[in-house]
Amino acid sequence: MLNILLMDSSYYLDLGLRFLILNQLANEHIHETRFASSPDEMKTETANIIFCDDVVTVNVLNKKQNKEIEKITLHVPFLARNQTINDISMKIGKILAIANADYHVHLNKKDAYWSFGLKKYAQLSDAENDVMLLIGRGYNSGDISRMLNRSRKTISTHYRNACRKMGASNQAEFYRYASFIARCGCNERNTLCL
């Protein structure tokens, strides 16, 4: 069963998202799905997919694990401002496929990218991810250039490249996503750009 938690702040966005997800579920022939609209209805630890404003969190659970829940968590920037309904539907389809896949497929990222058709999507480099995390923690370009021992121009290039790969149309979208990742407290490279 696929557990989907919709925590969007807008009722109409939630309703449209639910419609697009149901269409993709029918296309993917995934029938056992449970929706919830708040953490009171479904715990975030047991949700496979969490849609929350500009971020989608995908928890791929190890179904063979008995005692302790073992999972791989991926965060997907869900920045849909300049995208068509078809683009958003395709992105939702990829998210559903990733969440529904076997845990062991995700252990090797390169193989997972090939199997899900994600090889054509440019992912964040280590430097771009570091810059994103530091921006999310509230540092400015001068602070980041001193911390990473790089020039401001290099930091600016990493920022621009990360924005482009994530699909952020402005600084506010980028900062909301970067601050979410920084609040997660995880330094692992778990951003998946679609």
Phi, psi of 89 (to 5 degrees): -65, -40
Distance CA 75, CA 83 (A): 19
Q: What is the DSSP string of 55-102?
A: EEEEEEE-TT--SS--EEEEEEE---TT--HHHHHHHHHHHHHHHHS-
* Tokens read off for 83: 């995208």
Amino acid, res. 47:
A
Distance CA 154, CA 81 (A): 27
* Tokens read off for 124: 């964040």
184: confidence class by pLDDT, cuts 50, 70, 90: confident
23-49 b/e with 16+ CB inside 10 Å = b?
A: ebbeeeebeebeebeeeeebeeeebbb
Q: What is the mean pLDDT of residues 136-161?
A: 94
Q: Which domains does the chain have, with CATH numbers?
A: 2-115 (no CATH), 126-184 (1.10.10.10)
Residue 153 has pLDDT above 90, yes or no: yes
* Tokens read off for 170: 């402005």
Among residues 51, 55, 58, the alpha carbon closest in space to that of 95 is found at 58
pTM of the full predicted structure? 0.82
Distance CA 149, CA 131 (A): 12
39: confidence class by pLDDT, cuts 50, 70, 90: confident
* Tokens read off for 35: 């929706």
**Number of C-beta neighbours around residue 154 at 10 A:** 16
Q: What is the DSSP string of 115-142?
A: HTT-TTSPPPPHHHHHHHHHHHTT--HH
Distance CA 3, CA 141 (A): 39
pLDDT of 161-180, one tens digit each?
A: 999 998 888 888 899 999 98
Residue 132 has pLDDT above 80, yes or no: yes
Residue 47, SS3 per DSSP = coil
pLDDT of 82-119, one tens digit each?
A: 788 898 898 898 898 888 877 666 666 666 666 666 66
